[in-house]
Amino acid sequence: MNAAFEPMEADTLETRADVLPELTPEPWGDPLPIPSMLLPVEPFDAALMPDALGPWVTDIADRMQCPPDFPAVAAMVALSSVIGRKACIAPKRRDNWRVIPNLWGAVVGRPGVMKSPALAEAMKPLDRLQVVAGDLHAEAMRDHDIKMKLEGMGGKATERKAQGLVDKGKLEEARHLLAEAADFEASKPPALRRYIVTDASVEALGEILIENPWGVLAYRDELNGLLRSLDKEGQEGSRAFYLQGYDGNQAYVFDRIGRGRNLHIPAVCLSLLGGIQPGKLQAYIHDAVSGGAADDGLLQRFGLLVWPDVGKAWRNVDRFPDTAAKNAAFETFQRLDAMQPGTDPETGEPAPAVYRFSPEAQAEFDDWRHDFETALRSGEHHPAMESHLSKYRKLVPALALVCALADGESEVSMDSLLRALAWGDYLKSHAARAYGAGTGPNTDAATALLAKIQAGKVADGFAVRDVYLKGWAHLGTPEAVKMAAALLCDLGHLRRIDTKPGAAGGRPTASYQINPKTWGKGADA
C-alpha cells in the first residue's frame, strides 16, 4: 500500500488534526476594506453666524486655512460668556423656566489642523476687553489705596478722640464714638473684571466668580486634561462645581480651610471652551458610556461639539485681516459686555434681564419642541447620544438669544430662532459622529496593522509579539494587536492559525497568514 494512504496511529492523527487547517486552507477571497467608523457630518454654513460675526469668522478660517467650524464655535462661546447671566430667555410664555445663554464648546481635530490658533484668534475680542479692564482696575486700585490711607488716618483720629473722652471719664460717649466707627464698613478693594480663566483650581475659580457674578469663560487648550482630572477620585466636588456651572443660575457655597467658610457665589455661571484630539475623545466617550465616573452628563453639556472633516486642499493665504469685519465683531463684544442686567421685581436687586420669542418665533419653537421631545423618547438613540440631545432644551433657546442679542434685537425674532434650529441640526450630525466613534469598535489599530502589512513590514505567518514589540503607533500592546488582527481576519485580510502544544508540552500559539491579495500580489493561496 502506498505510504501516503497507510492508516496513522491515533496520537499521530490528533497531532495532524491540530494543523490540518494549515495543510488544507480554504481559498482566499477578496479582502474587504476597513469600514470607516466616522459618520458623515454637515459642513459649516456661514449663515449660521449672527450677521455681526459672520464675515469675521469667515475671514479667520480663510486666512488660517482651517475648518470654519473652529473659529465659529469659539466665537459663539466667547460671545455667550460676555452676556453670561445678564440676560436670559423664557422659552415659554407663562412658565417660569429660564435659560441662561452660557455655552460650552469643544472642537475636535488631530494635531496640526489649526485648532488652537483658530480658537485663540476668535477669543481676541476678550483679550482686548481684558486689557481695558486691567487699565481701569489699575486706576481704581490707585484711588482705593488713597481712600484706605485716608480711612486709616481717620481711624487713628477717632481712637485719639475716644482716648481723650476716656481720660475725662466720659466712657459712654467714648463707647458711642467707637461704635459708630465700628459700624463703618471699610472700603473693599475693587474687583478685576475677568473674561478668560485658563488654569485655575475650582476654589480659585469660585473666588473669581464671586468677583465676577455675571460669569466668565473657562478655556482649556486641551480639554482632555480637564476632563480626566475631574474623573479622578477625590474630585467629586470639583466635578459637581462644573456641572452646576453649566446651568448658570445656581448658587454655591464654599467651606474651605485656609480660604474661609461660607464663601457664597450668587450663581455659578461658566462658559467652557477647548480642543481635543479624536483618539482622546473616543477613549473618553468609551469610558463614559461604560459606567465610569464620566457617566454623569458632563461631556454631554458640550452642546457646541464639532468634529469637522479637514479638506485636503490647501492654499497659501497671505493678506491683512478684514479690518471692517474684525471691528464689527469687537464692537458687538463691547456692546454686549456693557449691557446692563435687569432688576428682580421682588427684591429690587440686579437680576438677568428676561427676553422672549416674538409671537411667530414662539409658535415655531413650540412646534419644534413637540417634535424634539417626541423623537427624544423614541428610544432609537444610544443612551449617551440621547443624553447629549436632551441638552438641546437649553442649547437651542440659548443660541437663539445669543444670535438675537448679537444683532441688536429686543426680542428673539424668527430669523434668530431659525438660525438656532439650523445650528441644532448641524451640531446633531457632529454629535452623532463623536458618539458613534466612541461607542463603536476602534479601527485605528486595524488600519495601522494593515498599513504595516501592505508596506512589507510584517512577515507572513507573524505572531502578535512580532508586531507589538515594534512599538508602532496604535499597536503597542498585545491586546491592541490581537483586536486589530481579529478585525482583519473578519475582513479577509488575515487567517489565524492556532497550534496546540506538541508532545513536549508548552503553550498553544497563534500565528497569522496574510491574504496575498492584501499584499497586492493578486494570487490565491
Please tell me the predicted confidence (pLDDT) of residue 288.
74
Residue among 467, 470, 507, 500 nearest 484 (CA): 467
Please report, as a single letter, which amino acid is at residue 511: S
Q: Distance between CA atoms of 118 and 108, rounded to whole angstroms?
A: 12
- Sequence spans of domains, the chain: 20-37+442-514, 46-130+196-310+319-439, 132-183
Alpha helices in 379-413 (DSSP H): 383-390, 392-406
- CATH topology for 46-130+196-310+319-439? Rossmann fold (3.40.50)
Please tell me the predicted confidence (pLDDT) of residue 262.
61
Alpha helices in 339-443 (DSSP H): 359-376, 383-390, 392-406, 414-439
Please tell me the predicted confidence (pLDDT) of residue 421.
98
Q: Distance between CA atoms of 74 and 434, rounded to whole angstroms?
A: 18
Tell me the helices (H) and strands (E) count for the chain, helix number first: 19, 13
- CATH topology for 20-37+442-514? Arc Repressor Mutant, subunit A (1.10.10)
Please tell me the predicted confidence (pLDDT) of residue 199.
84
Q: At 78, is the secondary structure helix, strand, or coil?
A: helix
Please tell me the predicted confidence (pLDDT) of residue 508.
82
Please tell me the predicted confidence (pLDDT) of residue 53.
97
Pairing state between β 270-276 and 104-108: parallel
Please tell me the predicted confidence (pLDDT) of residue 176.
82
Residue among 22, 73, 25 nearest 430 (CA): 73
Q: Distance between CA atoms of 29 and 493, rounded to whole angstroms?
A: 9
Local confidence pLDDT in tens for the 525 residues of the chain: 444 334 434 343 333 334 444 456 788 999 999 877 789 999 999 999 999 999 999 999 999 999 999 999 999 999 999 999 999 999 999 999 999 999 999 999 999 999 999 999 999 999 999 999 999 989 988 887 887 777 777 777 788 888 888 888 888 888 887 777 766 556 678 889 999 999 888 888 999 999 999 999 999 999 999 998 888 888 888 999 999 999 999 988 876 655 555 678 889 999 999 999 998 898 888 777 765 544 578 999 999 999 999 988 999 999 999 999 999 999 999 999 999 999 998 888 999 999 999 999 999 999 999 999 999 998 888 888 999 999 999 999 999 999 999 999 999 999 999 999 999 999 999 999 999 888 776 788 899 999 999 999 999 999 999 999 999 988 988 988 998 999 999 999 999 999 887 666 667 889 999 999 998 754 433
- HEC string of 34-67 equals CCCCCCCCCCCCHHHCCCCCHHHHHHHHHHHCCC
The length of the chain in residues reads: 525
Please tell me the predicted confidence (pLDDT) of residue 21.
45
pTM to 2 decimals? 0.79
Q: Distance between CA atoms of 215 and 81, rounded to whole angstroms?
A: 6
At which residue does the C-alpha cell 463623536 appear? Answer: 434
